[in-house]
Amino acid sequence: MTSLDKPTQDTDQTQPDDARAVTEAALFEAFGGVRGMVETVLPGLLFVAIFTVNKNLHMAAIAALALSLILVVVRLAMKDTVKHAFSGVFGVAFGVVFAMFTGNAKDFYLPGMLYTLGLALAYIVTTLAGVPLIGVVLGPVFKENLSWRTRNPGRKKAYAKASWAWGLILLAKCAILFPLYWWADTAQLGWVLVILKIPPFLLAVWLTWVFLAKAPAPIDVFAEMEAEEKAAEERKAAAEAAGGRHRRES
C-alpha cells in the first residue's frame, strides 16, 4: 500500500477559514464563476428573444451560434480559459443542427435538456457506485485527485452529499422542462429555460460549498508526491556519497 492509498482517520472537524477560502476559489474556478454563467445564458436568451419577436428559426439559430463564437473569440483575445465558452459553443451548435434538421424550433433546446437529464443520472449513479461524480470533477481542482476515496472518508461523504444535491436538483429541473417541451410553445419553453438556467445551478454550487466547508481539508497528493520524489533524490545522493567514500577508503 502506497502513501497515496493509506487511509487517514476520519474527523468531524470543519475546515479553517483559509481552507474555506480555498474551497470557494476552487468552486469558482471549476464552475466558471459569474462570467461563465453569463456565457451559458446569453446564447439561449438571444435565441428565444429573436424567435419570440419574428418566429424565424434560422435567424434565431444563427444569431445564437454567432454569439457563442464571439464569446470564444473574446476569451481567446483576452487569453482567458475557453473551456466554458467552448462548451457553450458545442451546446448551441448541437441545438442549431437538431432544430434545423427537424424544422421544429423547440428542438433547439432538446440536446441541452437531454444532457441535463443524463448529467443528473450520472451524479446519482456514480454516487450509488461509491465514486460521486462531483468528487471526480473537483478532486484535481483541490489537488487531491481521488485520494478522498480511501484516505479522507469525511470528504467522501461530503462529495456524496453534493452529488446527490446536483442529481436531485437537475432531475427537478427536468421534471419541469420535459412536460413543457410537449405542452408549451417554443417561446414559453425558451423563457422558462432561461429563467431556470442560473438559480438551480447556484443552489447546487451553494450546497456543494456548504458540504465541503464542513468536511476535512483536502489532502494535497501533488505536494506529497513532490516530497517523496525529493526524499528519494536525497536518499540516492546520500547513497552515492557513501559509495564514493567507501571506494576512496578501500
pLDDT at 13 exceeding the cut of 50: no
pLDDT category at 5 given cuts 50, 70, 90 is very low
Q: Which of 41, 43, 36, 42 is nearest to 84 (CA)?
A: 36
Contacts of 140 (CB under 8 A, 6+ apart): none
Q: What is the DSSP code (8-state) at residue 129? A: T
Angle between helices 186-195 and 153-183 (to 10 degrees): 160
Domain segments of the chain: what residues? 17-219, 220-250
The string of pLDDT tens digits covering residues 169-191 is: 999 999 999 999 999 998 999 99
Q: Read off the C-alpha cell for 3.
A: 502513501
pLDDT at 246 exceeding the cut of 70: no
Please identify which residue in the block is written with the cell numbers 451546446. Answer: 91
CA distances from 140 to 28, 39, 136, 240 (A): 14, 24, 8, 36
Other CB atoms within 10 A of residue 112 CB:
19
Contacts of 15 (CB under 8 A, 6+ apart): 23, 212, 213, 214, 215, 216, 217
